[in-house]
Structure 1
Amino acid sequence: MHYKGKLYQALNPLYAREPFSGRGAELYGGRFNPKGMPALYTSLTIMTALREANQAESLQLTTLVAYDADCERLFDPRDAHLLEKYQIAPQSLSNTTWRDEMNLRGEALTQQLARDLKNAGFHDLVVRSFAPGTTDADLNIVLWTWGTSLPNRLSVIDDERRLSR
């Protein structure tokens, strides 16, 4: 799958000056990246990004970042043939116990899936958001590989150069 368009990320302000780092996900692991593997968790809409970053009961301080993206090697689990090819059960993507798995086994099944997909040549995963209040229409793109050129180009939208201040 190919995606070209805007992506949004609601960052912890600690990482706001480094919107390309993937450092938070690398340090703590996420549903679709094991600890030690950087990732950018982005959303196709601002509201989905805010819901993703604020899954606690109250709104936390966040910095909203917008990117222009051109991503050529996305794995799309909405494609039943791809799921079958990689032996992925659709319900495994939404597993709510991934953190428990990570703590118990060192790596959750969804984290192993991310590692396997990256090793198979995929740079990203498009997946629905599982944050509270989201629907099947609320999509995220998790990036494992990104840079300033194709096949996975990402650039921060900062016309007023606010990040450099």
Structure 2
Amino acid sequence: MASTFSGKLYRALNPVFAREPMSGRGAELYGGRFNPKGVPALYLSTSVLTALREANQVGDLQPTTLVCYRAEIETVFDASDLAALEAAGFEETALADPAWRDQMRTTGEARTQRFARELIAKGFSGLRVRSFAKGSGPDDMNLVLWRWGTKAPSRLELIDDEDRLS
């Protein structure tokens, strides 16, 4: 059920959070599709274009800081594995439910956030899931991390050789 991700990941940040590209603070403050408020998370993409789509889902392109990471992440739940998703008690269509924000406002926690909380409790470091941003296709993938650091099993390294963000 758990897989490993190894490779580069991309994130398009709101410039407000650009000086803290490893924090997950924005998601922690506001909650996201796959993290309830109070739970830090990094929403990363496997391609630059997907990262830009994810960060600019409303209206025109807004100021964005694009960053890249090297990742070696163990214990990733792969939501594209439909058998594993079904065994976890979740359906593929529920992942894409556009009403997650409404659910969060009315019940305090969206169904996808509850699913993420259950995965975190089972020891998963992250979730590999397709992008649902406008213009994305079935091969546009994201990795949502709840656990990351500088060492295994959830090693994430910001690529900033010229210290541009320090």
Runs of 5+ unmatched residues, structure 2: none
Q: Secondary structure at the match of 1:82?
A: helix
Residue type of the alignment partner of 2:22: F
Cα offset for 1:57? 1.6
CA contact (8 A) 2:70 2:157 kept: yes
Between the two proteins, the alignment pairs up a number of residues equal to: 164
1:128 & 1:83 partners in 2: Cα distance? Answer: 13
> Matches of residues 1-165 of structure 1 in structure 2 within 5 Å?
1-164=3-166
Q: Secondary structure at the match of 2:103?
A: helix
Residue type of the alignment partner of 1:123: S
Residue type of the alignment partner of 1:56: V
1:126 & 1:79 partners in 2: Cα distance? Answer: 10
Q: Percent identity?
A: 58
Relative to the length of structure 1, the TM-score reads 0.98
CA contact (8 A) 2:69 2:157 kept: yes
2:82 & 2:51 partners in 1: Cα distance? Answer: 26
Higher mean C-alpha deviation, range 50-59 or range 83-92: 83-92
